[in-house]
Amino acid sequence: MADSGIVLHHLENSRSHRILWLLEELGVPYTVKEYKRGPDRHAPKELYEVNPLGKSPVITDGGRTIAESGVIVEYLIARYGKEKFGIKTDETSQEWIDNKFFTHYAEGSVAPNLIQRLLRVEVPKKVPFVVRPLINAVFGKVDASLTAPDLEKHGKYIENQLTKVESKGGWLAGTAGPTSADFMMSVTLQLFLERAPEYVGPKTKEYVKRIQERPAYKKTLEGPGGDFAYLYKG
């Protein structure tokens, strides 16, 4: 990866892994600046100098600083890969609608439930041992009544979509190759498999494995930022 105007500011084990995959698929030169999490699992102060929110991914390109996964994915495709990964039909087509939907669905609908599931596991670890059983019980009830039913619905929804597009190429928007929807959902689904595998169907697992088998995806695991803790190994 030669130096270029594109720099990916990559926080370890973050959503920026989807940007690594897209950059490799695009074949454009880029560099990765890695940031390690502190003992509190937060980003280091150096990342706050790039993005005041201290979140990753962030890219810089030609003097522009761009944050938020969805914005970065759509920007990179529009500028460097519209012919390869863009939707060829207009906003009246089902492909265009499905692509837009899953591009935003990844973080807008699925991710909040996965964060709630993570909190269910992590928060009880932070409280004193004497009250841990009580906190576990409370969080367990919240998970069972709210988070788990929603995760089950999302798992079925994604499985149904992959069933519908199977004969069209198997990508989420019903296209012959990946689009922004697939780049966005790649990390989301691996987090889903890590945190709520009981709600993930066989077609979804096959879809994730197919992403991981792509040469460009394999390259992301070899270079800077490739040590992704949530890699699906099923």
pLDDT tens for 122-160 read 767 777 876 777 777 777 777 777 899 999 999 999 999
Mean pLDDT of 24-37: 93
Mean pLDDT of 5-25: 92
Tokens of 132: 């841990």
Residue 3 has pLDDT above 70, yes or no: no
> Is-contact 124 140, C-beta < 8 A?
no
Mean pLDDT of 103-110: 97
Going by pLDDT thresholds of 50, 70 and 90, the confidence category of residue 1 is very low
Residue 100 has pLDDT above 70, yes or no: yes
Residue 91 has pLDDT above 70, yes or no: yes
Task: Give long-range contacts, CB 8 A cutoff, 24+ apart: 172-176.
Answer: 172/98, 172/99, 172/102, 173/87, 173/95, 173/96, 173/98, 173/99, 173/102, 174/94, 174/95, 174/98, 175/87, 175/95, 175/99
